[in-house]
Amino acid sequence: MSTAFQGTETATAAGRLRDGFLRWQCRVRQMAMREAMGRPNDAVMPMVTLPGSGEPMGRIVTVLSRNWAHSRTPELQHLYRQTNDPAQRREKALALFSAGYYQQAKEFSDTLTATFVPGSPGAEALLAAGRCRLGFDAYSQSFDLDCAVRQLERAHPLFQATWWHNRLFNPDLHPDTVILAFRPDWESST
């Protein structure tokens, strides 16, 4: 069996954890789009804890993006540019994300992203630490992910996917929004 996520179960415990997390995330995100009009809930808003800290610093809203080979970023851009009406953008985004967008977990990157306003003390603390733990706990599932943290450049595919995803739902997204990537170390996650 392959140790890379290619639609088959991976042989290692870390691989099974990764596969299970991605399947769960796809399911809960599709449910949020269908049942809660896209409003984020605890399943996509983990508690963030810095290394050495016993107390979480708070929650962040994460985005799960497709791998570059399965990217739908051009479609997200097109939906945004089709109209100037934020309500129509949101409606079209909900239709896209509620349908088949989250059907194939193997098409998604395991690197999560999150947006922060420019100068955010939280983003600065995360970047200074370089690591954090993301604690997901919802729908009788919990995952504790040990993640490396880095800031994405505007040209990075995950930056673009996150930017356009959020732009569809937030017409006031700051043009200098900071996007951080959270790359799990599956060997030290549970």
The partner residues of 178 in beta bridges, in order of sequence, read 116
Is the overall model pTM greater than 0.75, yes or no?
A: yes
Q: What are the DSSP calls for 47-80, one per residue?
A: EEE-TT-SS--EE---EEEE-GGG--HHHHHHHH
pLDDT in tens, 101-146: 999 999 999 999 999 999 999 999 999 999 999 999 999 999 999 9
pLDDT in tens, 57-115: 999 999 999 998 899 999 999 999 999 999 999 999 999 999 999 999 999 999 999 99
Distance from C-alpha of 151 to C-alpha of 187, rounded to nearest angstrom? 23
Q: What is the mean pLDDT of the chain?
A: 92
- Tally the residues of the chain: 190
